[in-house]
Amino acid sequence: MHNFSLLSAYFDRVPHENGNKYYLYEEVWTEYATATLSTVFMYVAIALAVILIGIGIFVRLKKPERFSAFFRTGATVAVTFALTVTVTMLTLGFAKISEKGYAEGENMLLELVPPLVLGGVIVIGIIACYASHFFTPKTFKITLISTLSCIGLAFVATVVCLIVFFTKNIKNDGYYGEEINQLALYLSSVGLIAVIVGTAVVADLKNKTAFDSRCIALAGICVALSFALSYIKMFSMPQGGSVTLASLLPVMLFSYVYGAKKGVFVGCIYGALQAMQNPWLIHPAQFLLDYPVAFASAGLAGAFKKITQLDKLPQIKFALGAVAASALRFTAHVFSGVFAFGADAGGDSLWLYSLGYNSYVFVDIAIVIAVGVLILSSKNFVKRIDLYAKVKKQPVVETEDKPTETEEN
C-alpha cells in the first residue's frame, strides 16, 4: 500500500493556481530513463563499431570478393541501430513534454509543435524520395520537388509561429525580452548564411556530382546516423548544447564525399531535425543560428577536398574542413548567446560568457576529427568514397540508327 502511494505521487498530477495540472516530481522518470538509455546506447554503439570494423578487416583480408556484401550488411545494421535509438529517444522526449504539461499550453504549442512538424516532414520526405528512386526518374524528380516544397513551407510556418511566440511570451517577459537584440540577431543570421553558402559555392565550383537517388539515399543514411548519435551524449550543458559521440561525423563524411554545396544543404536539414530534441527556442533568428545555420556549417567539411596538393593526405583535408566548420558553428552559437541569451550571463560580460559557454563545440569537434582521421587512414575506405564521388549525371544522348553495311548494299 505504501509503495502504491509512493508511485501515485510520481504518476498523479495535482492542480496549480493557474488551473493546469502538473506532476509533483517533474521529469523524474523521463530524465532517469533518458540518462540511462543514453549511456547504454553509447556502449552499444562503441561495441557495434568495434565488431563491424573487426569483421570488416577480417573479410577484406580473407574474402575480399565478399567485402561489398559485408559493407551493405554493416550499413543496414548501423541504420537499424540508428532508427532504434531515434525512435526510443524521441518517445522519451514526447513523454517529457507531456510530463511537464507543455502540450497543454497554447503558447508552448507555438514553440514545440512547429519544429516537430518540420522534422516529421523531413523524415517522411527522405523516406518518400528513397522509395521513389525504385520507380522511374520522373517519379523521383516529382517526389524530390514535392518534398523540398513541403520542407520549405514547414520551415516558413515554423519561423512564423516563433515570431508569434516571441511577441506573445518573450518580448515583454522582463527576463529575455529586455536583453534580446533583434536587429543584431537578424544581421548575424543573414551574414553567417552568406558566408557559409558563399564558401560552399566557391569550394565546389568544379564539382559535377549529381544530386541523384543514390546521393539522396546516402544523405538519408548519414542524417539518420548523425541524429541517432546526437542522443548519445558525453555530457550536456545547462542551457542547451552537448558533447556527443561524434554525432556530426556522418554528415561531415557525406560532405567530404559529395562536396560542400550538398553538404551544407544536408547539414541544414540535420540542423532542423536537431530542433526536435529538447528545443530551446525564444526567437526566430535564434532558432536559425542555433539549429539550421550552426549545423549547415558542418557541410564545409568537404571544402578542402579539391586541394590536389593534399590528395595523398585525405585526413588533413577532412581535418581542415572540420576545423573551418566548427569555427562557423561556434560563431553561430556565440552570436545567439550574446544577442538572444544575454540574460543568462548574470551581469558578466556577454561576449566572455558566450565565448566560454559555447567552447564545448571544440571538444565535440575534436572527437569528430579524431574518429574521421582514423577512418580516412584506411585506403580501402578512401577508395570506396572516391567511387561515390565519381558517379556523375550522364546526359541522355539521342542517336540515329545507322544502317549496317548489308542494309546499305
Q: Within 10 Å of residue 144's Cβ, how many Cβ atoms?
A: 19
Instruction: Name the more confident of 24 and 315.
Output: 315
pTM: 0.82
Q: Within 10 Å of residue 74's Cβ, how many Cβ atoms?
A: 19
What's the CA gap between 220 and 125, in Å, rounded?
Answer: 10
SS3 state at 118: helix
SS3 state at 22: strand
User: Which cell numbers hold the place of 41?
Assistant: 546506447
Tens-digit pLDDT profile for residues 148-205: 999 999 999 999 988 888 888 788 777 776 778 889 999 999 999 999 999 999 988 8
Residue 321 · residue 369 · CB < 8 Å: no
The answer, yes or no, to whether residue 213 has pLDDT greater than 50, is yes
**Strand boundaries in 119-275, DSSP class E:** 233-236, 242-244
pLDDT at 62: 86
SS3 state at 346: coil
In total, the chain counts a number of residues equal to 409
86-93 long-range contacts, Cβ below 8 Å, gap at least 24? Answer: 86/224, 86/227, 86/228, 86/231, 88/37, 89/34, 89/37, 89/38, 89/231, 89/277, 90/276, 92/30, 92/33, 92/34, 92/37, 93/34, 93/276, 93/277, 93/278
User: Which cell numbers hold the place of 250?
Assistant: 556522418
Tens-digit pLDDT profile for residues 243-299: 888 899 999 999 998 889 999 999 999 998 888 877 778 889 999 999 999 999 999
**Strand boundaries in 91-223, DSSP class E:** none
